Amino acid sequence: MLPSNRAAFAATVAAVLLSVAAPVTAQSKPDGPRVRLTFDKHPSIHIGNVLTVDVRVKAQTDWRDFPAEPATIPKDVFDLHRARLGLEGTLLTRFDYQIEREFHDTTQPWRDLYVDARVVRNLKIQGGHFKIPFGLDQLTSGMDLDFNYRSLAGTYLAPGRDLGLMAHGKLFNDVVKYQAGVFRQGGANVRASERTETQSARTVAGRLVVRPWNGSRAFRSLRSFAAGIAFTDGLLPEGPNSLRGKTVPGDAFFDRFYVKGRRQRVGAEFQWRPGPMSVQGELMRARDQRQDQGLDNENLPDVVAHGWYLVSTWLVTGERKKDTITPARPFLKGGIGAVELAGRVERLGSGSHGTAVEPFPSPRAPGILLRTDSVWTAGVNWYVNEFIKLQANLIREQREAGDVVIPGQATRWSRTLGVQFGL
């Protein structure tokens, strides 16, 4: 057996053992600082009230059946989607921290790397590398997604992670949740040319989510309803750095345009989880300015990218819909686990602001041809137990350019099956 195979085998055995293990607690000497090693959902070390360290493992492998895309490299059938190891916990009861590394990504391996300090009851200050507060789908943990892949808008229009400082908290008995921060650049979900651009510029971002019926006794079914708005505003480095957009299989879909000026995003979101069901939706719009980018150095109309999605889910086995689903009756422990049906309709598009100018496919064209990708996804999620989740998705895509279906891309079907292990 090859060393890598041995390692994979050992990891699999360990994962299976961990997934069926009963909670275990180890305790150190009774009269010193109380050190406890627990093994509930994940291994944890507690050193009195000084420090807690939770070890987190996130792994996902996908089987994919994507249609052949002309002029692109065929995709691997199997994809190690996620292979992360992380530490998180609390220091001195006032500081939360998280460290997470993606071993599958060599270009941007560090995911979360931050400290979150409780300043006063309704105010926390978070500093480090973490997600810019924009986009509900983007801010949802990869292990808690309802589908194998995030929505296209959540993936490509939301900025993702960056180095920054953010104030956040909840007000009025958690009716209002706010986040406001300043970040070094514009996030990781941008073209590589922008990430490596030395003319870095700060981005500010804010998000406000309201749960008007939180804790309400009169409208119990509406308690989980939340609606919010968000924005980002930052300076763009000059160059061919317009926002990227890709199809579900990951092929470039947006053309690349020269930009200069501000990048501004606005978004609106809602989420409602009555019992085992959920409805969630988002609307996003991003504008990239093109100052002095014309062939005669004139200003060009902004590049506008927009996207939306609407998701509905139903836990057939009756569990309450939450961020992380724990089956009431795990598989092989008297039940079948939890089964969830999910559907999503979404659209991602890019064009230029205003329609007066004839569009051309050139990186400095004043008018940009509107390109859209409309996607339907149907999925079944099987939560085997609290550690393992299987997700099967059937995806239908239709791409259009200038309101005309791109030849050969009228209807494209993809199938994916993902296996997640979370600790």
Partner 1 sequence: MRSRHVRYAIVLVAAWLCLPATPVSAQSSDAPTTPDTLLDGSTLSDVWVHINARDWEELHTHYLEGTYYPVDFEWRGIRVRNSGIRVRGNTSRNDHKPSFRIDFNRYVTGQDFFGVNALVLNSSWHDASMLHDRLSMLLFRRMGIPAPRQAHVRLYVGANREFAGVYAVSEEVNKPFLDATFGSHDGYLYEYHRQDGDHYGFEYHGPDLGWYIPRFGPKTHESDSVANLYTPIRALVEAINDAPKSELEDKLTGYFNVNIYITEIAVQNFLAQTDGLLGDFGMNNCYLYRFARTRLSQLIPWDQDASFSSMDMPPWHNMGANVLASKIWDEPKYRAAYLKKLLEIADAAGPPAGAAGVDGWLRQEAAREYEQIRDAVHADPLTPYSSDEFEQAVAFIDQFARERADIVRQYVARVAPEMFTANRR
User: What residue ranges bind partner 1 (CB under 8 A)?
Assistant: 238, 258, 292-298, 360-365
Shortest Cβ distance from residue 234 to partner 1 (Å)? 20
Does the CA dihedral 144-127-181-105 come out positive or negative?
A: negative
Nearer to partner 1, 103 or 360 (CB): 360
Nearer to partner 1, 295 or 316 (CB): 295
- The CA angle 227-326-61, to the nearest 5 degrees, is 90
Q: Smallest distance, Å, CB 299 to partner 1?
A: 12
Cβ 76 to partner 1 shortest distance, Å: 25
- Dist CA 215 CA 423 (whole Å): 31
C-alpha to C-alpha distance for 256 and 352, rounded to whole angstroms: 12
Taking the complex as a whole, how short is the minimal distance between the CB of residue 365 and partner 1, in angstroms? 6
- In the complex, the smallest distance separating the C-beta of residue 181 from partner 1, rounded to whole angstroms, is 31
- If we measure between CA atoms, which residue out of 277, 270, 267 comes closest to residue 310? 270
Question: What is the Rg, in whole angstroms, of the alpha carbon atoms belonging to the chain?
Answer: 23
Name the DSSP class of 9. H
- Cβ at position 61, least distance to partner 1 in Å: 36
User: Cα(330)–Cα(33) distance, rounded to whole angstroms?
Assistant: 37
> Would you state the structure tokens that stand for residue 136, as one six-digit string?
């509900």
What is the distance between the alpha carbons of residues 54 and 57, in angstroms, rounded to a whole number? 10
CB of 355 to partner 1, least distance (A): 17
Q: CB atoms < 10 A from the CB of 280, how many?
A: 22
14 or 295: CB nearest partner 1? 295
CA-to-CA distance for 219 and 75, rounded, in angstroms?
48
Nearer to partner 1, 32 or 70 (CB): 70
Given the complex with partner 1, which of 205 and 369 has the nearer CB atom?
Answer: 369
CA distance 364 to 384: 51
CA atoms within 13 Å, Cβ hemisphere of 338: 22
Write the CA distances from 130 to 138, 196, 358, integer angstroms.
12, 18, 41
Which of 69, 238 has the CB closer to partner 1? 238
Residue among 353, 419, 337 at smallest CA distance from 143: 419
> Could you tell me the smallest distance in angstroms from the CB atom of residue 357 to partner 1?
11
- Taking the complex as a whole, the smallest distance from the CB of residue 238 to partner 1 amounts, in Å, to 7
What is the b/e burial string over 115-130, where b = at least 16 CB atoms within 10 angstroms of the residue's CB? ebeeeeeeebebebbb
Nearer to partner 1 (CB atom), residue 264 or residue 291: 291
> How far apart, in whole angstroms, are the C-alpha atoms of residue 193 and residue 339?
42
Task: Give whichever of 221 and 362 is closer to partner 1, judged by the CB atom.
Answer: 362
Q: Which is nearer to partner 1, 112 or 194 (CB)?
A: 194
